Amino acid sequence: MKFKALVVIINIVLIFTFLFLFFVSFILGTPALRRELWPGNLIMAAILLSVLAILNSVFIKNRAVMDFLEKEDWPGLAHHLEVRVLGRGMYGRRNVRLLLESLVVLGDFKTIEKLAAQLKSSRPRLHRELASSLSGAFILAGKYALASETATSALVGSKGLRREDRAWLGFYRGLSLYMARLYGEALEEFMPLCGESDDPLITAISGYLCSVSGKRAGKADEDPVGPDCSARISAAAAAEAARERVRARISRKAWNRYVDRAKEDIRIVILGSLINQAGVWLYE
């Protein structure tokens, strides 16, 4: 449903409720009943009018953003928010998150770098909260060192971050190392997540990448009992543990539903086909 139509409907419902509560006692009640209900009606009327005022002020304030979202005009939305956030310094959490998401959709990684730099200097706490999404965007841009640096700096100052956010930061740091073909270092990030992460997606993809990284980390080693062989065995064990953990919690159908719901999160959208690959590996 269109945002404008939804706001109009809510306004009509609230106004009708207001009129009904305000006048019903005058139409149907006795004088004594009207006097008894009058104070309560005034309070209810004040509450409904306050809700109306807040609703309409929020709509008017964000009308341009809602119009762009309704039309799926990502270039227009990105430009509008870029002016507000980067130009005017309006670092509201919602504005910044929407700007980041629209820039990822457009593939405008240069502006994402600019956004990250300004957040780090002006709003370090918000930069830390969005660090996992920023790391994912930098991986998409092929800037693996910057992705790893962003995740690492957020983890160093991770006080106040939720457990879920720390897990995503560790995952994206591992993914940046994996994409840079530093498979041994990537395993150091993925293996703990296989046994500790509460998120089925992080656990499953970490397990899948453990199985791949373990094989690639020791590919050049010809010593069947050398250190790389030990790494392969540990990686394989961690991958299998991750698979068992996820499969014990959710079926394949439940996994598909979970993935569909989770795709509203930009951190997951960034992973693209990697989620499908992990799903095939998980239930093969």
Helical spans, DSSP H, in the chain: 3-28, 31-61, 63-71, 74-82, 93-106, 109-122, 124-129, 131-140, 144-156, 163-179, 183-196, 200-217, 227-249, 252-262, 266-269, 273-282
For residue 198, give both structure tokens.
Answer: 């509460």
Confidence (pLDDT) at 130:
92
Buried b (16+ CB within 10 A) or exposed e, 121-136: eebeebbbbbbbbbbb
Q: How far is CA 73 from the centre of its chain?
A: 20
Which residues 6+ apart lie within 8 Å of 58 measured at CB? Answer: none
pLDDT (tens digit per residue) in 4-55? 677 778 778 877 777 776 666 666 666 666 666 667 667 777 787 788 788 7
pLDDT (tens digit per residue) in 233-257? 888 899 999 999 999 999 999 998 8
